[in-house]
């Protein structure tokens, strides 16, 4: 395979709060190749958004990237090395803050935020903002940038872009604003667009249109996407490969069809079971029992064991790392669950334990007793 466009290795981002260190992203690795849409899936609080802001080095205090490596087109966005005294320090070839700002952010990697209602500055016209972004990132003059901005608005399907150029964000509907944000991201012709739950705030019909448009534009411009979402149906719709995150870790990585039809991790299965599917009739939806534990003090062993229907004693003791479970000749499909033979830690001999998912806790939410282990 060719070199990946973006390569994230063992990325760790932590927040140093008064209550303790929150390990929001705890050693994730994934690649994005050219022209690919890569999904990043997980529940709220799994660390998806922190992971994406880490890629742009936009993590604010008290958060900090504490380890790992991010390479983009052969350049080091983040990387540490040990100096003579054994202290970690940024590597020399790591891009400086001003290089990040001038060369990477917006130009090479653009980001589309979750809430289109909040991502446009309310006191400026839509066109003015789009023009500013184009001016900054493409070194165009004001007039050229304006033409380009109007073209982009037309491209993302805004009717009468010349007159809508002079309107304010509050005069646009949610779907229209999301189109503007996509125009903004595409306008600077980046190689990679990070879409942070861009359709979550929209209603389903608009979501469908936007997804269709993104697929079209993606083919046209050959841009790569990292698509952050918690919605498995969106994943099925547009992603090529998927990373499933749970509590700061990636627990399953696969091509999209494999993930849906040959699910390897109980958490992914649970996610799929919790969503309505037209191809299966179920009496009732099965939500994932319990709530995600705090990332300050994650459970020992497999982090999902407290909510896992298939948990056994060994799950409490062994912390599984991602392993390739695919058969010869198949695309890579990794998962971090000891129930698979590849791990060989004695899962089959181990005794089942009661968890929130097996009913031992009475679903955990209704009764608080017995929570302690």
Partner 1 sequence: MSTNSATSDDDTPNGGDESGGGPDEVEARVGLRYTLKQVRQDTTARVGSYIVGFMTLVAIFAAFDYYVLNYAIAEAVLYNPEADPEQVRRLLPPVGMENQFGEGVIEHPLGTDHRGRDLLSRTIYGTRIAMTVGFLATAIGLGGGTVIGAVSGYYGGWIDDVLQRVTETIYAIPFLVLVIAFMTAFGRNLTFAMIGVGITAVPVFNRLIRSRVVSIREEDYIEAARAAGVKDRNIIFQHIIPNSFAPVLVQATLQVGVSILIVAGLSFLGFGAQPPTPSWGQMLSASRAYMLPAPTFSIFPGIAILITVIGFNILGDGLQDALDPRINN
Residue numbers at the binding site for partner 1 (CB under 8 A) = 56, 58, 61, 100-102, 104-107, 110-111, 113-115, 118-125, 127-128, 132-133, 136-137, 159-160, 162-168, 170-173, 176, 181, 184, 188
Main-chain phi, psi angles of 63, to 5 degrees: -85, 155
Q: Which two tokens stand for residue 256?
A: 């999209």
Of 61 and 366, the one with the shorter C-beta distance to partner 1 is 61
Q: For partner 1, give the closer residue by CB, 112 or 335.
A: 112
β-bridge mates for residue 88, sequence order: 82
- As measured in angstroms, the least distance from the Cβ of 187 to partner 1 is 10
For the bound state, the minimum distance from the C-beta of residue 12 to partner 1, rounded and expressed in Å, comes to 21
What are the residues facing 38 on neighbouring strands?
Answer: 226, 241
Q: How many CB atoms are closer than 10 A to CB 331?
A: 10
Maximum Cα interatomic distance, the chain, rounded to a whole number of Å = 72
CB of 229 vs partner 1, minimal distance in Å: 17
Q: How many residues does the chain have?
A: 373
The CB-of-28 to partner 1 minimum distance in angstroms stands at 20
DSSP category for residue 285: -
Closer Cβ to partner 1, 159 or 278, answer by number: 159
Query: Which whole-number Å values give the CA distances from 245 to 55, 163, 215, in the listed order?
Result: 16, 43, 24
Phi-psi region of 288 (alpha: psi -120 to 50; beta: other; left: phi over 0): beta
What gap in Å lies between CA 318 and CA 320, rounded to an integer? 6
If you compute the radius of gyration of the chain from its CA atoms, what whole number of angstroms results? 22
Tokens of 246: 């749970």
Minimum CB separation of residue 102 from partner 1 in Å reads 6
Q: By C-beta, is 127 or 301 nearer to partner 1?
A: 127
* Smallest separation (angstroms) from partner 1 to the CB of 194: 8
CB-wise, 123 or 204, nearer to partner 1? 123
Specify the residue, 108 or 258, whose C-beta has the smaller distance to partner 1.
108
């Amino acid at each position: 395979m060719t070199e990946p466009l973006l390569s994230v290795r063992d990325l760790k981002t932590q927040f140093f709060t008064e209550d303790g260190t929150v390990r929001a992203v705890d050693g994730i690795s994934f690649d994005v190749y050219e022209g690919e849409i890569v999904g990043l899936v997980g529940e709220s609080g799994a660390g998806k958004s922190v992971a994406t802001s880490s890629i742009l080095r936009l993590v604010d205090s008290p958060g900090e990237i504490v380890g790992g490596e991010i390479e983009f087109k052969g350049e080091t966005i983040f990387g540490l090395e040990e100096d003579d005294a054994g202290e970690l320090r940024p590597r020399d070839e790591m891009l400086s803050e001003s290089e990040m700002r001038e060369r990477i952010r917006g130009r090479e990697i653009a980001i589309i935020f979750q809430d289109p209602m909040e991502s446009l500055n309310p006191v400026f016209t839509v066109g003015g903002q789009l023009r500013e972004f184009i001016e900054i990132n493409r070194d165009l003059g004001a007039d050229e940038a304006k033409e380009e901005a109007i073209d982009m608005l037309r491209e993302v399907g805004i009717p009468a872009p010349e007159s809508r150029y002079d309107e304010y964000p509050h005069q646009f509907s949610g779907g229209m604003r999301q189109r503007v944000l996509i125009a903004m991201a595409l306008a600077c012709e980046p190689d990679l667009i990070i879409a942070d739950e861009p359709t979550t705030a929209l209603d389903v019909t608009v979501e469908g249109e936007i997804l269709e448009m993104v697929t079209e534009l993606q083919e046209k411009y050959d841009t790569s996407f990292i698509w952050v979402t918690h919605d498995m149906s969106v994943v099925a719709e547009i992603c090529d490969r998927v990373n499933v995150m749970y509590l700061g870790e990636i627990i399953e990585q696969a091509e999209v069809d494999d993930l849906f039809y040959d699910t390897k991790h109980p958490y992914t299965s649970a996610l799929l079971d919790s969503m309505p599917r037209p191809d299966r009739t179920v009496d009732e939806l099965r939500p994932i029992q319990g709530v995600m534990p705090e990332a300050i003090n994650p459970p020992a062993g497999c982090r999902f064991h407290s909510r896992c229907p298939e948990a056994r004693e060994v799950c409490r003791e062994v912390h599984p790392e991602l392993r390739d479970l695919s058969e010869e000749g198949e695309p890579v499909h990794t998962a971090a669950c000891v129930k698979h033979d590849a791990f060989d830690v004695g899962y089959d001999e181990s005794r089942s334990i009661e968890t929130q998912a097996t009913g031992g806790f009475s679903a955990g939410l209704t009764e608080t007793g017995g929570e302690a282990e």
